Amino acid sequence: MCGPETGGPANGDEYVLDTPTVRSFVARVRETISRASGPEEAVEGLRPVFSELLADEGWLPEKYRSPVPESGMGGGIGQWLLFRSAGRDLSLFALVVPPGAATPVHDHLAWGLVGLYRGEQEETVYDAEGEELAVRVSRTVKRGDFYGLLPPRDDVHRVRTTGPETSVSIHLLANDTGCVWRHSYDPETGAVSPFRSGYANRPCPPDDGR
């Protein structure tokens, strides 16, 4: 087995944070997905194991709870890769949002789960199906809370840290989220732009000119 933060096994999986907790979590995730008939059933089946990960206070090192001054998302927001599959169809990462900072309005283009590990956030979900960007719901998310993503439903959102503590959310998504081209949205005009958030600790393939 690789040591912490050293990579992955010969099959191409990348365990950036290579610990028994992460390996066990990924194994349980894959087993659940293999039994599911589709994304909706997979999301429901993953809720117990994801809840356990959020409740475990000791598995995520301080490094992956830190803001990133030169963030691709702005505001010191850090996106820290923890694991991604060889096929880039599954990733686990921590999103760190300093007090008062907010992500752009963005989509994910993948199903999965997002939960709060530290701090407090406000999540605003948008309806982006028409020409205008309309707020569907705005809610407070506290430690241990989590929600599912099933595109196109609830896939466009923005999160903002509302408390004095830097917030840390854990994302389990069915793509290589930091490196795929997604979309950001102007909440005033609804204008859509290409968006790639990147990771603080791993490079993405070269920009293809989008």
Q: What is the pLDDT of residue 153?
A: 83
Q: How far apart are CA 39 and CA 59, in angstroms?
A: 27
Given a cut of 50, whether residue 89 has pLDDT beyond it is: yes
Q: What is the pLDDT of residue 125?
A: 95
pLDDT > 90 fraction of the chain, expressed in percent and rounded: 82
Phi and psi, residue 95, nearest 5°: -110, 120
Burial of 198 (0-12, 13-18, 19+ CB in 10 A): middle
Q: What is the pLDDT of residue 205?
A: 84
Q: CB within 8 A of 35, min separation 6: which ones? A: 45
Q: What is the pLDDT of residue 189?
A: 87
pTM greater than 0.85:
yes
- Average pLDDT for residues 153-163, to the nearest whole number? 94
Q: What is the pLDDT of residue 68?
A: 93
Q: How confident is the model at residue 169 (pLDDT cuts 50, 70, 90)?
A: very high
Q: What is the pLDDT of residue 180?
A: 96
- Average pLDDT for residues 155-174, to the nearest whole number? 97
For the chain, the average pLDDT equals 91
Strand duo 120-127 + 91-97: pairing: unpaired
Given a cut of 90, whether residue 142 has pLDDT beyond it is: yes
Given a cut of 60, whether residue 208 has pLDDT beyond it is: no
CATH fold for the domain made of 14-195: Jelly Rolls (2.60.120)
Q: How far apart are CA 154 and CA 156, in angstroms?
A: 6
Domain residue extents for the chain: 14-195
